[in-house]
Each structure stands twice: as structure tokens, then as C-alpha cells.
Amino acid sequence: MSLPNCPKCNSEYVYEDQAMLICPECAHEWNPNEVEVDEDALIIKDMGGNLLQEGDKVTLAKDLKVKGSSQVLKIGTKATIKRLVDGDHDIDCKLDGGGEMMLKSQFVKKA
């Protein structure tokens, strides 16, 4: 029986200890029967607590002033999420009729 490589360091020297698999190189322990959760994955939620993903359609929940211009994005403006990023403005999206823009997730709701 062959054991899978370590998910953290990709070492092939994994051994079994009861129901757990252990890597002797990085000391990572895991249960092969449990679904592995990626701790580095970005979890971003809208103002209502709904989980946002790339490709989702969102609407603005309030009027937003565009920094460096006199333009105002009106409530209800629709946008499509292109990607989620780590930072203050965590949504990179394309606004309907407004071009591409970075928004904060706290000001949008999932459509």
C-alpha cells in the first residue's frame, strides 16, 4: 500500500500512526479521510455575510464616491467579480457602465 505525499512539504516519507498520517520531515499530521481545508484560501463575505467568489454578480449597497474624481457610483450598480484579493479593497470587479474598479466587500451584496 502506498501512502500519499505530505500536503505541506510534499515529502514521500510519510508513515501511518493509527488513523493519522505523519510526515517526519515537517511534523505535519493529518487524517486522510477528512477533507483538507486550505487555510491560505481567501474568505471574503458581502455585507449580508454571504460568501463571495470569483465570477459572482454583486450590487452596490450604498452610494460610493470614486477617489480622485467627482464621479459617484449609485446604489444598485451591478458588478461582476473578476478576482478576490487580500487588502483593504478586496474585490477587483468590472462595473456595468463604469469600467474596472477595486471595491470593499462591506459595501456590496450578492445579487
49 and 21 together in one domain: no
- Confidence band, pLDDT 50/70/90 cuts, at residue 1: low
106 and 73 together in one domain: yes
Domain containing 25 equals 1-34
13 and 50 together in one domain: no
Indicate the pTM of the whole model: 0.64
Please give the pLDDT value at position 69.
87
Distance CA 80, CA 59 (A): 9
60 and 28 together in one domain: no
Distance CA 57, CA 52 (A): 9
Q: Quick check: is 39 in a domain? A: no
pLDDT at 110 over 70: yes
Give the bridge partners for 110, in sequence order. Answer: 58
CATH of the domain at 62: 2.30.30.40
103 and 54 together in one domain: yes
Query: Cell 498520517, residue?
Result: 21
pLDDT digits (tens, 9 = 90+) for 22-70: 999 999 999 988 866 665 678 899 999 999 999 999 999 999 998 888 9
